[in-house]
Structure 1
Amino acid sequence: MYRFVFTQVLSRFDAEDIHHLTVRALHLLAVLPIAKRVLHRRLAPRDEALRVRAFGVHFPGPFGLAAGFDKNAEAFEALAALGFSHVEVGTITARPQPGNPRPRLFRLVGNRAIINRMGFNNAGARAAAARLRRPRGLPAVVGVNIGKTKVVPEERAAEDYMASAKELAPLADYLVVNVSSPNTPGLRNLQAVELLRPLLESVKSVAGRTPLLVKIAPDLADEDVDAVADLAVELGLSGIIATNTTIGRPGVVSDEAGGLSGRPLKARSLEVLRRLHARVGDRLTLVSVGGVEDLDDVWERILAGATLVQGYTGMIYEGPLWASRIHRGLSRRLRRHGYRSISEAVGAADRVT
């Protein structure tokens, strides 16, 4: 049913307009306590075998929503009610900013992909913090993804990230330093270890006990992936999220600038995950995102070493019941393969002889 509605109706309208309409509808759902709780009872993961403990946080399942959808922490409760085990809000910057000029969000339906050049459009850390402080009507694991304000020069990036962390870390179940979006000029330069080290040290100094992760780009060279992994272990970070969108165009014909997400990113994202797992083992929590479309993709990422898996573009093409279907499928697959829990399956591909 959803695919018919998407093909015949939604795909005919501007992608960003539909996105804003969806967020408003979810925000409305979030303020309707009975409807929200009914959906949560029906759709949220409840199988004990799916429960995941990562960096001291308990997740009801392994599959969550990646940053980029709920930019202003407006709809995370409704999204949890739809079956996501966790919702990563943002990317949030210290100061409010409008992002890049429209149009800036494009569907590539034939490739099951999206190109975006949003540019961290958000209402700022203070506005997000106010929303995150509100009492919650149902349990929701919320990560907060922070990025650099566009007008802040590179040499003051650490100060800018620290401002966001001070506002948001106490309200987050985990905090993510995003240095990998292609849509803020110069941001990806911060992935170079000599720049990333002082930045992460600064954010860690104000994050307190909140688990701190870093999100990297799929376009990093393999040796740079290794360098970031080694740095994350050295600094005692909680994990790495791999990967963000790509500036490459694998199998895609498009003149639009911006980050590509969806099916074309699948192979590289999986490759980076496997490399990270080989490098760090279980010393860090690995969160895999990029090209995740269905149960098979989630299962493959778990076997390859991901403790948690995230998606976003797949929901655009699969609809609001996507996460719930994946978690139900994971329950069946665990039992079919003789695993008592998701934790037993993490990295199992490396243990096959």
Structure 2
Amino acid sequence: MYRIIFTQVLSRVDAETAHHLTIRLLRLIGRWPVVLRLLHRVLAPRDESLRVTAFGVHFPSPFGLAAGFDKDARCLEALTAFGFGHVEVGTITAHAQPGNARPRLFRLLENRAIINRMGFNNAGAAAAARSLRRPRRVPAVVGVNIGKTRVVPEADAARDYAESARLLAPLADYLVVNVSSPNTPGLRDLQAADRLWPLLSSVKEVAGRTPLLVKIAPDLADEDVDAVAELAVDLGLAGIIATNTTIRRDGVSSAETGGLSGRPLKARSLEVLRRLRQKAGDRLVLVSVGGVEDVDDVWERLLAGATLVQGYTGMIYEGPLWAYGINRALARRLRRHRRSSVRDIIGATA
């Protein structure tokens, strides 16, 4: 049913307009506690075999929603109710900013992909903190993804990230430093080890006991991936999220600028995951994202060493029951392989 609605209706609506309509609908669901709890009871993962613990946090399923969808933490309860084992909100900056000019979000239907050049449009860390403080009607595991305010000079980036961390880390189950979006000028330069070390050190000090991860780009050279892995281990980070969107256009004909997500990112994201696992072993929690479409992708990422897997673009093409379907299929596959827990397969082919 959803595919018919998407093909005949949603695909003909401007992508960002459709996104805002979806956010409004999810927020409306969140205002009806009875509906919210009913959805959570029916769709949220409850199979014991799916439970996993990472950096001291208990997740009902390894499959979660990547940052970029719920930028201001406005509908995380509804998203959790639809089956995601965790929701990563953001990217959030210390100061509110409008992002880049529209149009800035594009579907590539033939590639099952999206190009975005949103530019970290969000209401700012203080507004997100107010949303995160609200009492929750359903249990939710929430990650908070923070980025650099566009107008802040690179020389002041550490201070800018630290300000967001000060407001948001106490409200998050884990915190993510995003230095890999292609849509903020100069941001990816911060992935260089000599710049990344002082930035992450500053944020880690402010974050305190909140687990800290860093999100990297798929476009890093292999030796730079290795360097980030070594840095993360040396700094005592909780983990790495791999990967963000790509600026490459392999097999994609669109000339639109911005970060590409979805199916074309699948192969490189898996390559980076395998390299990180080879370099860091089990000393870091690895979160794999990029080109995840179905249970086969989730299964493959877990086998390759990911403890958690995230998706986003797949939901655009598969609809609101996407996470629920993946969780059910993953639990069935574990039983078919006579595995009592998803923990039994993490890193099995690494």
**TM-score, normalized by the shorter chain, greater than 0.5:** yes
Cα distance in 2, alignment partners of residues 175 and 338 from structure 1: 34
- For 1:313-345, what per-residue CA distance to the aligned partner results, in whole angstroms no more than 9, with x for missing partners? 000000000000000001011111121111111
| Residue correspondence of structure 1 range 75-114 to structure 2 within 5 A | 75-114=75-114
Cα distance in 2, alignment partners of residues 343 and 220 from structure 1: 29
Percent identical pairs in the alignment equals 77
Secondary structure of 2:210's match?
coil
Offset, 1:24 = 0.7
Match of 2:210 in 1: 210
Cα distance in 2, alignment partners of residues 134 and 166 from structure 1: 18
Which amino acid in structure 2 is aligned with residue 135 of structure 1?
A: P
TM-score of the pair, normalised by structure 1: 0.99
Secondary structure of 2:349's match?
helix
- For 1:277-306, what per-residue CA distance to the aligned partner results, in whole angstroms no more than 9, with x for missing partners? 111111000000000000100000000000
Q: Give unmatched runs, 5+ long, in structure 1.
A: none
| Residue correspondence of structure 1 range 221-232 to structure 2 within 5 A | 221-232=221-232
Which amino acid in structure 1 is aligned with residue 319 of structure 2?
A: G
Offset, 1:47 = 0.5
Which amino acid in structure 2 is aligned with residue 127 of structure 1?
A: A
Cα distance in 1, alignment partners of residues 238 and 73 from structure 2: 22
Which amino acid in structure 1 is aligned with residue 158 of structure 2?
A: A
| Residue correspondence of structure 1 range 112-151 to structure 2 within 5 A | 112-151=112-151
Cα distance in 1, alignment partners of residues 336 and 230 from structure 2: 36
Which amino acid in structure 2 is aligned with residue 148 of structure 1?
A: K
Offset, 1:308 = 0.2
Offset, 1:31 = 1.3
Cα distance in 1, alignment partners of residues 344 and 232 from structure 2: 24
Which amino acid in structure 1 is aligned with residue 133 of structure 2?
A: R
Which amino acid in structure 2 is aligned with residue 60 of structure 1?
A: P
Offset, 1:349 = 1.2
Cα distance in 2, alignment partners of residues 144 and 276 from structure 1: 22
Match of 1:74 in 2: 74
Alignment partner of 1:254 is 2:268 = no
Which amino acid in structure 1 is aligned with residue 103 of structure 2?
A: P
- For 1:5-30, what per-residue CA distance to the aligned partner results, in whole angstroms no more than 9, with x for missing partners? 00000000100000000001001111
Match of 1:167 in 2: 167
- For 1:39-73, what per-residue CA distance to the aligned partner results, in whole angstroms no more than 9, with x for missing partners? 00110100111001000000000000000000000
Match of 2:329 in 1: 329
Match of 1:304 in 2: 304
Structure 1's consecutive aligned runs of 4 or more residues displaced over 4 angstroms after TM superposition are none
Alignment partner of 1:47 is 2:53 = no
Cα distance in 2, alignment partners of residues 241 and 117 from structure 1: 20
Cα distance in 2, alignment partners of residues 200 and 27 from structure 1: 33
| Residue correspondence of structure 1 range 288-299 to structure 2 within 5 A | 288-299=288-299
Equivalenced residue count is 350
Secondary structure of 1:348's match?
coil
Offset, 1:141 = 0.2
Cα distance in 1, alignment partners of residues 264 and 175 from structure 2: 27
Which amino acid in structure 2 is aligned with residue 21 of structure 1?
A: L
Match of 1:17 in 2: 17
Cα distance in 1, alignment partners of residues 35 and 287 from structure 2: 31
Match of 1:243 in 2: 243
Match of 2:36 in 1: 36
Secondary structure of 2:271's match?
helix
- For 1:210-250, what per-residue CA distance to the aligned partner results, in whole angstroms no more than 9, with x for missing partners? 00000000000000000000000000000000000000001
Which amino acid in structure 1 is aligned with residue 200 of structure 2?
A: L
Match of 2:315 in 1: 315
TM-score of the pair, normalised by structure 2: 1.00
Cα distance in 1, alignment partners of residues 250 and 53 from structure 2: 35
Secondary structure of 1:287's match?
strand
Which amino acid in structure 2 is aligned with residue 214 of structure 1?
A: V
Cα distance in 2, alignment partners of residues 225 and 338 from structure 1: 35
Which amino acid in structure 1 is aligned with residue 22 of structure 2?
A: T
Match of 1:60 in 2: 60
